[in-house]
Structure 1
Amino acid sequence: MSKSNGHMSDDLLVKYLVGEATPAETAEVDAWLAADEANVLHFNQLKRIWDESLQLANTSIVDEDAAYNRLQNRIKSMPEGGEAKVVDLQPKKTNWLAIAAAIVVICTTGYFALNYFTGPAATVTVASNDKVLIDTLADGSVVTMNKLSQLSYPEKFKGDTRAVTLQGEAFFNVTPDKTKPFIITVNDVTIRVVGTSFNIKSRNGKTEVIVATGIVNVSKDRNNINLNPGEKTEIDNSKGELSKQSVKGKLYSYYVNKELVCDQTPLGELVPALNVIYGANIVIGNKALEKMPITTVFKNQSLEQVLMVIEETFKISAERKNGQIILK
């Protein structure tokens, strides 16, 4: 099977269009669409020709072998970059030959379907630098970017998906649209939703996805997993394994609403969050404390105030020594 347009087979795209792709193939196409706006444009061109060809297929009688030969000749004469490309089809071995023949009819009438398409939308890139930044996308989705993060997205969403690319960390509140899945690419991880809220963080060779509302599909390579509210997955960028676990509280949303919500949250999870938020160097001197749970809400409080609550809750002390704060 030949491949083109970012190593994606048009045969597979046709299976995707008609709903006959496997879950793994569907995830592969979704990731390909999210990787490049040019891929989305090609897919939309193919879809338009496909839709028009279905109408003609119902009313036309075509010599399939002759049509196939005309199709190949027409493809060879097409100017590069200007028209939708169709890879070689194998006569007598593919289920799509009748439709390919119908596509020839459209092609020989001047590819009139392509007149409905314009060039890809301009790409917008926003960087938060040293502050938290809130951005609203064309579909109404709101993205809150943590410090040192970057988001790239089309000025206007076209086609059948809403594809963006993220570096760093951001909280997404996605406007529901079941007809246009919202797809985020982070390194080689793909997050696919139709309308939900969730946090994505990619730092130090790991990508973490935590769901606040709705259902989120996360895929890497050929593996994928669905996350429900209160669940997260943490992916090592050098590996393809996907697993999920429950989240206790909402430590991840501090940069969004200035709240640290602890709900039976182990101290071993709270301390790393405090180190990131306050730029501190807190260590747990007594390992037995790591699994001890705390339930409280910290809102706009100083590190000293937070440490005081921790000391009182666990009846421990916070000792400062050599630039560290040791809990014991």
Structure 2
Amino acid sequence: MSYTGMPINDDLLVKYLVGEATPAEAEAIQNWLAADAANRQEYENFKLIWDQSQQIAGTRNVDEDAAFIRLQNRLNKTEDAVPLVKVQKMKPGYWVGIAASVLLICTVAWLTISRYYSNDFISVVTIESNNEPRTTTLPDMSEVTLNSHSTLRYPEKFSGTIRPVTMKGEAFFKVSPDKTKPFIIKVNGVTVRVVGTSFNVKSRDGKTQVIVETGIVNVSEKSKSINLNPGEKVLVTKQEGLQAKENIRGRLYNYYATHQLVCDQTPLHELVASLNEVYGAHISIGNKAIENLPITTVFKDQPLDDVLLVIKETFKVKVDKGKKGIVLR
């Protein structure tokens, strides 16, 4: 019996193990397991490593994200582990030879498991930004700037065939190019894959947004996947999943990293949304006719009043300030 369903990969197996697989995905895995004894053995080996990752995570007060990083590193290190020993079939009566073979196999297994579960092998670094943005350099010299109240986790050393990290909140990545070792981010059920590029990832309130500045970025969620080019963005929500990609106007998304709001024919309502986030303001547009008016300029570390003055003079609108906020009319 051969299996011809959806591809079964590490990401799908992790979802199945933590109970997050869809009914269709769970059925596909069950069919894959039933198709071949080798598949069942592969699954049992995978589950063993995952269970041990979770157990160690519990003793170290590290959550599932860190366990995922350890899992990926262990799976990637499989090719580097102690080589398997081919044991020839013994004739009946050769008990000494059989005993020696069993001892050899047990020794190989012990060495392999010891290497998998050594403290150095599973060391995970956690970076938290708290109330202020924070910039850090990863082992591969990639640079990451975390927005406030964000978290990044990554292995102390990228020793496998991928560079796995997990994150919560928002971060701007400048990934060092390495075509032989993809950079993979796990965030809120979304997977972001690159080999060397710069992009912004924002995941808050159940929504994940990816915006690309340079290079090509692959974004996947469940069975859907999309490639983003510079100047494109995509949104993933729990209700609608991976949505269609869109073009962006300017660079409003990473003010916390650049201290600049770059507008390039940017609709006024998009600038207002960014101003509310950057300045903690409560600005609304009281006239729908001006919501999509385009603006092209650069604001760099300017007081909010100065920005509002530019908007007022550019569009000849009124800026009404009240106790409940600011209204553009």
Shared fold (TM-score, shorter chain, > 0.5)? yes
CA deviations on 1:71-107 (whole Å, 9 max, x unpaired) are xxxxxx99xxxxxxxxxxxxxxxxxxxxxxxxxxx95
Query: What is residue 218 of structure 2 aligned with on the other side?
Result: 217
Q: Provide the C-alpha distance between the structure 2 equivalents of 1:113 and 1:239, rounded to a whole number of angstroms.
A: 46
* Deviation of the 1:151 alpha carbon: 0.8
Q: Is the 8 A contact 1:223 1:242 kept in 2?
A: no
Q: Provide the C-alpha distance between the structure 1 equivalents of 2:40 and 2:172, rounded to a whole number of angstroms.
A: 33
1:44 paired with 2:44, answer no
* Deviation of the 1:288 alpha carbon: 1.1
Query: What is residue 270 of structure 2 aligned with on the other side?
Result: 269
Q: Provide the C-alpha distance between the structure 1 equivalents of 2:285 and 2:295, rounded to a whole number of angstroms.
A: 15
* Deviation of the 1:149 alpha carbon: 0.7
Q: Provide the C-alpha distance between the structure 2 equivalents of 1:300 and 1:45, rounded to a whole number of angstroms.
A: 46
Query: What is residue 108 of structure 2 aligned with on the other side?
Result: 110
* Deviation of the 1:324 alpha carbon: 1.2
Structure ranking higher on relative contact order (CA contacts 8 Å, 6+ apart) = 1
1:233 paired with 2:234, answer yes
Q: Provide the C-alpha distance between the structure 2 equivalents of 1:267 and 1:107, rounded to a whole number of angstroms.
A: 68
Q: Is the 8 A contact 1:33 1:163 kept in 2?
A: no
* Deviation of the 1:116 alpha carbon: 10
1:177 and 1:35, CA in 2 relative to 1: closer, same or farther beyond 3 A? farther
Q: Provide the C-alpha distance between the structure 2 equivalents of 1:35 and 1:216, rounded to a whole number of angstroms.
A: 24
Aligned CA RMSD, in angstroms, stands at 3.4
Query: What is residue 207 of structure 1 aligned with on the other side?
Result: 208
Find the residue that maps to 1:250 and give its secondary structure. Answer: coil
Query: What is residue 176 of structure 1 aligned with on the other side?
Result: 177
CA deviations on 1:222-244 (whole Å, 9 max, x unpaired) are 11100000000011134323310
TM-score w.r.t. length of structure 1: 0.72
Query: What is residue 145 of structure 2 aligned with on the other side?
Result: 144
For residues 47-196 of structure 1, the aligned pairs below 5 Å read 47-48=79-80, 110=108, 114=112, 117=115, 119=118, 120-196=121-197
* Deviation of the 1:322 alpha carbon: 2.6
What is the identity, as a one-letter code, of the residue corresponding to 2:272? Answer: V
Q: Provide the C-alpha distance between the structure 1 equivalents of 2:293 and 2:170, rounded to a whole number of angstroms.
A: 28
Find the residue that maps to 1:311 and give its secondary structure. Answer: helix
What is the identity, as a one-letter code, of the residue corresponding to 1:152? Answer: R
Find the residue that maps to 1:309 and give its secondary structure. Answer: helix
For residues 252-263 of structure 1, the aligned pairs below 5 Å read 252-263=253-264
Find the residue that maps to 1:283 and give its secondary structure. Answer: strand
1:115 and 1:121, CA in 2 relative to 1: closer, same or farther beyond 3 A? closer
Q: Provide the C-alpha distance between the structure 2 equivalents of 1:230 and 1:190, rounded to a whole number of angstroms.
A: 19
Tell me the matched-pair count: 266
Query: What is residue 320 of structure 1 aligned with on the other side?
Result: 321
1:107 and 1:195, CA in 2 relative to 1: closer, same or farther beyond 3 A? farther
Find the residue that maps to 1:121 and give its secondary structure. Answer: coil
Query: What is residue 95 of structure 2 aligned with on the other side?
Result: none
Q: Provide the C-alpha distance between the structure 2 equivalents of 1:225 and 1:114, rounded to a whole number of angstroms.
A: 37
What is the identity, as a one-letter code, of the residue corresponding to 1:292? Answer: L
Q: Provide the C-alpha distance between the structure 1 equivalents of 2:266 and 2:236, rounded to a whole number of angstroms.
A: 21
Where structure 1 has 5 or more consecutive residues not aligned to the other structure, the ranges are 15-31, 67-76, 79-105
* Deviation of the 1:3 alpha carbon: 11
Query: What is residue 279 of structure 2 aligned with on the other side?
Result: 278
Q: Is the 8 A contact 1:205 1:238 kept in 2?
A: no
* Deviation of the 1:200 alpha carbon: 0.5
Q: Is the 8 A contact 1:181 1:193 kept in 2?
A: yes
Q: Provide the C-alpha distance between the structure 2 equivalents of 1:259 and 1:49, rounded to a whole number of angstroms.
A: 48
Q: Is the 8 A contact 1:133 1:144 kept in 2?
A: yes
Q: Is the 8 A contact 2:179 2:195 kept in 1?
A: yes
Query: What is residue 249 of structure 1 aligned with on the other side?
Result: 250
1:206 and 1:3, CA in 2 relative to 1: closer, same or farther beyond 3 A? closer
What is the identity, as a one-letter code, of the residue corresponding to 2:280? Answer: G
1:12 and 1:232, CA in 2 relative to 1: closer, same or farther beyond 3 A? farther
Find the residue that maps to 2:185 and give its secondary structure. Answer: strand
Q: Is the 8 A contact 1:45 1:117 kept in 2?
A: no
Q: Provide the C-alpha distance between the structure 1 equivalents of 2:167 and 2:189, rounded to a whole number of angstroms.
A: 11
Query: What is residue 198 of structure 1 aligned with on the other side?
Result: 199
Find the residue that maps to 1:251 and give its secondary structure. Answer: coil
Q: Is the 8 A contact 2:144 2:172 kept in 1?
A: yes
What is the identity, as a one-letter code, of the residue corresponding to 2:130? Answer: N
What is the identity, as a one-letter code, of the residue corresponding to 1:308? Answer: L
* Deviation of the 1:117 alpha carbon: 4.3
Q: Is the 8 A contact 1:283 1:325 kept in 2?
A: yes
Aligned-pair identity (%): 47
Find the residue that maps to 1:252 and give its secondary structure. Answer: coil
Q: Provide the C-alpha distance between the structure 2 equivalents of 1:239 and 1:35, rounded to a whole number of angstroms.
A: 28
